[in-house]
Amino acid sequence: MEDMNKASLTKLGWKVSTEPASVWIQCVKARYWKGRCFFSLFPRQNNSWGWKNILATRDLLKKNCCFKIGDGSTVDIWSDPWIPWKEGFMAKLELNNESIAMVGSLETNGLAAEILSENFDPTAIVAEPVPAEVLSNGDLGYGEGDENNNNNNNNDNKTQEKKREIVLGRNVHTTCLAVTEPEANDEFTGDKDAYMASVLARYRKTLLERTKYHLGYPYNLDFDYGALGQLQHFSINNLGDPFIESNYGVHSRQFEVGVLDWFARLWEIEKNDYWGYITNCGTEGNLHGILVGREVLPDGILYGSKESHYSVFKAARMYRMECVKVETLVSGEIDCADFKVKLLANKDKPAIINVNIGTTVKGAVDDLDLVIQTLEECGFTQDRFYIHCDGALFGLMMPFVKRAPKVSFKKPIGSVSVSGHKFVGCPMPCGVQITRLEHINVLSRNVEYLASRDATIMGSRNGHAPIFLWYTLNRKGYKGFQKEVQKCLRNAHYLKDRLLEAGISAMLNELSSTVVFERPLDEDFVRRWQLACQGNIAHVVVMPNVTIDKLNDFLNELVEKRSTWYQDGKVKPPCIAADVGTASCLCGLHK
C-alpha cells in the first residue's frame, strides 16, 4: 500500500516537472512556486499536505531521472548541475550578480566571459551554431522570408512535374520536408512534437496508398515483422567479418551466420567451404562477387550480357577492369554464340563472367550450363575463369523451378548473390553474398582495431537486416518459398494470357514472373501503378503480394484507358517486336 502511494505521488511529481503546459500545473505553479524550478523549491509551513508530499518525491525523482539542457533558459546557474563532463558540478557564487540566474541568459547578456573566465572549459562551443543558408546565387541567406521561397518553389514544382524530365546536374529540393530549427520553447509547448507526429502520420498514409498500387518493382510486400519492432531501440552493427567476433558487442552475427548457412545449403556448398555475408543490397553482392573474381584473376576481362544490371558495369568502372558486353537473344538471355566469338578474340586473358539469374527488365535467366560449356569449348580451364551469378531478382526463385538451370557450387562458379528485399521480402534493402572460402583468403586483410578480418565491401553493416531475414526464413522455410514461387509463376501466366486476349502485346519468359508488355501511353497511369519502363516496354513483376484481384483491377483499368488512348486511331499502340520478338507483338504490323 505504501509503495503504491509513493508510486502515484511520484507520478504527480513527474507530471509537475515535465508537463509545465497543463492547466493543473499552471494553477499549482501560480500558487506555490512563483518563477522558480520545481526541484529547488522549499516546502513552506502553510503548504497543503498534498503538496508537501509531492515535493517529498523529488529525491526519488532526482535519483532516477535526468534533465536535458536545452537552450539553458530554465537551468539555474547556481543550483543545477549543468556542465555534463563535470560530474556534480555546481557553480559557486563568487560575484554578487543576481541578475544572472539561468544558464540561457549567459550568452545573451554577454556576461559569461566576464564572470566565468577562469572556470570555463576550453571546449566551449560557438555562440551561433545554425549556419547561414547558401542561396542559389552563392550568397548566404539568413532564413528570412523562407516561406515565400517555398511557395515559389511549389509552383515551379507543378510545371516541372508536367514535364517529368530527368535534368542531370540539377537536384530537386522542392518536395523535401525541410529540417527546421527547434524553437526555444518547443519542449514546453509540444508544438514541434505535434508537427512531427502529423508529418509522420501523413507519410504513413501515403505509404499505405502507394503500397496498394505497386506492380513494377520486384519487392515482396507480403510480410509482417511486428514481432521485431522491439529491436529498433538498438544500434545493431555487424561490422567486419560475420565469422569473426569483433570488439563491438551489439551485433547479430548469430542470426547472420544462420541465414548464410541456409543459403549455402540452397546453393549446395558445405559450411566449411563457403564464406559470405549479408550485404546492403544486391548491388553490393555484385560489387563483391566481381571484386573476388578480379582478385583471383587480376588481369581477367569482365564479360556480361548487355542486359545485365547496371551495377555490373559500375563495378567494371570502379575497378577499372576491361569489360566486354555480350549480345542477348530476344528473351533477354545471354547469346552464347556471341559470347564464344568474344571469348575467342580474348583467349590470352582469363574471363570473369557475370551470369544473370533473372535480368532486371525481362526477367531472363542466362543458361549457366551453356555458359560453362562455352567456356570449356573455347579452351578456358577452370583456373582461368570465374563466374559470378547475379541472382538479385530470381536467386531465391530458380531453385524451386524444375526446369530452371540449377545454381550450385557443385558447378565451377565462384559466387552467388541475391537481394533480400526483393523476393525474400525484407522491409529494408539488404542482400546475401556467398563465395568460396578459398577465394576470401586472397582478398582479405586483418584490421587490428576491429580485431577482425576485412573482407567485406562496407565497414559498418546493418545488423537488423539479418534478423529480418532469419525471421522470414524461419517462418516460410524452403517449402514456403516454393509455394510462393509457384503462385507467382501461375499469376504471371494469368496476367500474360489476359493481356494477349485483350490484344495487348506481352511476353513472359518461361522461368520468370516478370510480364513484359507495351508501354502504357499515359504517364499518370505508369506512375499510379509504379511500372518500370524502358523504351517501348513496361513490366509487371508478379510477387507473392500481387493477387489475382489486384491483377484484375490493373487489367480492367488498362483496357479501359487504352480504349480512350487509341480510340480515334490517330495514335497507335507501340510496336515491341524489337524488344521481345515478333511472336509476342500484337501491334498493327505484327498481329
Query: In which residue are the cell numbers 480515334 written?
Result: 568
* Contact with ligand PLP (CB under 6 A) among 74, 252, 311, 415: 311
- Tell me the CA distances in angstroms from 291 to 40, 51, 294, 314, 445, one per residue in order: 64, 70, 5, 12, 14
Q: Which of these ranges, 173-181, 352-360, 407-415, 446-454, lies near ligand PLP under the rule CB under 6 A?
A: 352-360
Minimum CB distance to ligand PLP smaller for 286 or for 462: 286
> With 0-12 CB in 10 A as exposed, 13-18 as middle and 19+ as buried, what is 434?
buried
Q: Which of these ranges, 76-84, 200-208, 231-239, 281-289, lies near ligand PLP under the rule CB under 6 A?
A: 281-289
C-alpha cell belonging to residue 181: 530549427
Query: Reduced to 3 states, what is the DSSP secondary structure of residue 226?
Result: helix
- Tell me the CA distances in angstroms from 293 to 265, 269, 353, one per residue in order: 22, 18, 9
Give the strands of the sheet with 385-390, arranged side by side. Answer: 274-279, 431-436, 415-419, 385-390, 351-356, 301-305, 323-326
Residue 283 in the binding site for ligand PLP (CB under 6 A): yes
Residue 359 in the binding site for ligand PLP (CB under 6 A): yes
* Contact with ligand PLP (CB under 6 A) among 309, 362, 461, 496: 309
Minimum CB distance to ligand PLP smaller for 429 or for 463: 429
For the question of residue 512 being annotated catalytic, the response is yes
Minimum CB distance to ligand PLP smaller for 10 or for 360: 360
Query: Reduced to 3 states, what is the DSSP secondary structure of residue 237?
Result: strand
Closest CB 401 distance from ligand PLP, rounded Å: 16
Q: Specify whether the CB–CB gap between 33 and 41 falls below 8 A.
A: yes
Which candidate in 311, 512, 513, 584 is catalytic?
Answer: 512
C-alpha cell belonging to residue 497: 494470357
Minimum CB distance to ligand PLP smaller for 260 or for 393: 393
Residue 75 in the binding site for ligand PLP (CB under 6 A): no
Residue 419 in the binding site for ligand PLP (CB under 6 A): yes
* Contact with ligand PLP (CB under 6 A) among 13, 282, 399, 544: 282
Measured from the Cβ of residue 466, the count of other Cβ atoms closer than 10 Å reads 29
Residue 390 in the binding site for ligand PLP (CB under 6 A): yes
Minimum CB distance to ligand PLP smaller for 282 or for 425: 282
Minimum CB distance to ligand PLP smaller for 13 or for 358: 358
Give the span between the Cα atoms of 591 and 376, in whole angstroms.
Answer: 42
Residue nearest to ligand PLP (CB): 282
C-alpha cell belonging to residue 454: 576485412
What residues have CB less than 8 Å from 275, skipping those under 6 apart?
A: 243, 434, 435, 436, 437, 439, 440, 455
Q: Which of these ranges, 47-55, 252-260, 276-284, 452-460, lies near ligand PLP under the rule CB under 6 A?
A: 276-284
Closest CB 388 distance from ligand PLP, rounded Å: 11
> Element (H or E) spanning 141, and its range?
strand 140-141
DSSP code string of 486-508:
HHHHHHHHHHHHHHHHTT--EEE
Minimum CB distance to ligand PLP smaller for 236 or for 426: 426
Q: Which of these ranges, 90-98, 101-109, 167-175, 355-363, lies near ligand PLP under the rule CB under 6 A?
A: 355-363
* Contact with ligand PLP (CB under 6 A) among 25, 259, 281, 334: 281
Minimum CB distance to ligand PLP smaller for 500 or for 532: 532
Distance of CA 423 to the CA centre of its chain: 15
Closest CB 279 distance from ligand PLP, rounded Å: 8
Closest CB 154 distance from ligand PLP, rounded Å: 31
Residue 393 in the binding site for ligand PLP (CB under 6 A): yes
> With 0-12 CB in 10 A as exposed, 13-18 as middle and 19+ as buried, what is 143?
exposed
Residue 241 in the binding site for ligand PLP (CB under 6 A): no
Closest CB 145 distance from ligand PLP, rounded Å: 41
Residue 360 in the binding site for ligand PLP (CB under 6 A): yes
283 closest CA partner among 310, 305, 302, 303: 310
Closest CB 308 distance from ligand PLP, rounded Å: 7
Q: Which of residues 428-457 bind ligand PLP (CB under 6 A)?
A: 429, 431
Q: Which of residues 458-517 bind ligand PLP (CB under 6 A)?
A: none
Give the span between the Cα atoms of 248 and 413, in whole angstroms.
Answer: 34
The type of residue at 584 is S
Chain residues that interact with ligand PLP, rule: CB under 6 A? 281-283, 286, 309, 311, 356, 358-360, 390, 392-393, 419, 429, 431
* Catalytic residue positions, numbered: 512
